[in-house]
Chains A and B, each alone.
Chain A
Amino acid sequence: MSELLANTELLRKLLVGFVRDEVRKVGVSKVVLGLSGGIDSALVAFIAAEALGPENVHAICMPYKTSNPESEQHARLVAEACGIRFSVVPITAMVDAYFEKFPDADNMRRGNKMARERMTVLFDHSALLRALVLGTSNKTELLLGYGTLYGDMASALNPIGDIYKSQVWQLSAAMEVPREVIEKQPSADLWAGQTDEEELGFSYRQVDELLFRLVDKRLTRQELAAEGFGGEFVETIYAKIQNSHFKRRLPVIAKVSNRTIDRDFRYARDWGK
């Protein structure tokens, strides 16, 4: 039985309010985000358009030569559906120039490079447009570490980082994100035919039910077993959370003074806002 039903009306209000408040309080009116053609960035685009007005949202599609052409079509479809500004900045030339020097690089290195290349494009546009970069990583990905550090995980504000993929689907339907985007198989689109669920080895719906009980409700191993979660599955997911924790923290600083940043020098980011 799913425990992940969100009150989408309330959630929409909270996330739209978050983008509006946190963007404007720093004296900025615009945001920029990468639009992949997938559901997470589509939902963020819809939230931002509602929060700031579509004219203040700039989406960039950044295909690599191996990206599925359908991805760009879907990104364009999303941008048109919510009326935001849209441009395409291919990353093939930059990525290929680098890997000419490292022709033996495997898929993981290439995928990470692409994610980080896109990050530099977004942060350059942040300066160009005086716009904050919106993150599009959901809670499932963040907990599993299924993202590239300083790549797609880099942003100024992330409206969907505390909602699971299952809730992204629910809210996307409620906000009328185009059906094609909601219904397609989630994919990082790093190589042809890749799907997240095949690569991860389980479905998002499956893992979300576990993550919600393990992380949010703090059920014990015995309680999880009683609810029918296999021991091996639980341990695999727990290890993924633990091993990717470094991605969710600032770099570790060697402490030598009385006030070390973030340890005993503690301020909210909204300090003075």
Chain B
Amino acid sequence: MDFTVVLAQIKPKLGCVADNLAAVGERIAAAREAGADLIVFPELALSGYFLKDLVPDVALRVDSAEIQHLVELSRGISIAIGFVEETDDYHFFNSALYLEDGAIRHLHRKVYLPTYGLFDEQRYLARGEAFRAFDTKFGRFGMLICEDMWHLSASYILAMDGATTLLCLSSSPSRGIEGESLGSALAWQKLVSTTAMFLNCRVLYSNRVGFEDGVNFWGGSEYVAPSGESIVRGELLEEDFVTARVHEGALRRERIFSPMMRDENLFVTLQELQRIAQERGR
């Protein structure tokens, strides 16, 4: 079905869950007011990104009052949002929730925690172990958190699991000032477009803005159609409220024109991956 999505390009305050929850609530109300059906927030929208030793201080259990408040708000609009999740056994995950009709439809825990260059996630956070597609009012979705998307296998698994829409929640830092546009923005735009094209999926990419200790996050949230074409793209470096009308017809037509996913041979892929795993184990 057709639906209207808002990509909430916000500027979370580092370590201030209550402030961020209030800001998120305002965006949800505004999106409802605008008649949107779905709002997608960035990675770690409730906490900010460079948390380091703050991780346990900002972590929320899924049954916490804060998360349950968002679950309630999802009666009026579907919500995807990133936060630090605390589990019963006191592991802390970089997680994303998909909330709809007053229920949690899906919880994704970031699998690929970057620990190179300016990143240090795996020092502070536990690693997720699954990529699963899930059903929503708007079709079958898959969720990725930032670095997850740089692993072809992650998007591939979700697409093979039937997802036709990929949500990517991101906190991508700006770097590279030599080119036409920001280096990291150009790289992401290529990645999102290529992923959409390879998998005949639409991609809803939500990236934050603002500065943390001199590191800037570049925004540029976008809706990319299954053809790989960027339909709407948010401002670079500024807060934005990116609204897009997503048409089911575009997805259907693309899958008729380019039926690569229909022809994809899961069994050849699996057979070869199993062979590779066995050979590596020797």
Contacts and interface: CB of A to CB of B under 8 A. Distances in A.
Contacts of A6: 177-178
A266 B52 contact: yes
Interface in A30-71: none
Interface string B44-62: 0000001111100000000
Interface of B: 13-16, 50-54, 174, 177-182, 210-214, 216, 236-237
B211 A272 contact: no
Contact of A267 (B54, B174, B211, B216): B54
Contacts of B54: 267-268, 271
Nearest to A271: B15
A270 B180 CA distance: 30
Given A266-B52, A266-B53, A14 B180 contact: no
A18 B14 contact: no
Given A3-B178, A7-B177, A267-B54, A272 B216 contact: no
* Interface range for A: 20 to 34
Given A10-B181, A11-B177, A268-B213, 12 more contacts: A3-B178, A5-B178, A6-B177, A10-B177, A13-B236, A14-B177, A17-B216, A18-B214, A266-B53, A268-B50, A270-B213, A272-B16
Nearest to B15: A272
B59 to A, nearest CB: 15
Contacts of B182: 10
Contacts, number: 62
25 contacts: A3-B178, A5-B178, A7-B177, A10-B177, A14-B174, A17-B216, A17-B237, A18-B214, A21-B210, A22-B214, A25-B211, A266-B53, A267-B53, A267-B54, A268-B14, A268-B52, A268-B54, A268-B213, A269-B213, A270-B211, A270-B212, A271-B54, A272-B14, A272-B16, A273-B13
Contacts of A3: 178
Contacts of B16: 272
Which of B174, B177, B210, B237 has most A Cβ within 10 Å? B177
Contacts of B178: 3, 5-7
A157 B213 CA distance: 9
A14 B213 contact: no
A53 B49 CA distance: 29
Contact of A7 (B13, B15, B51, B180): B180
Contact of B212 (A11, A265, A268): A268
B210 to A, nearest CB: 6
A269 B237 CA distance: 21
Nearest to B185: A10
Contacts of B53: 265-267
Nearest to A16: B237
Nearest to B123: A266
B176 to A, nearest CB: 9
B133 to A, nearest CB: 35
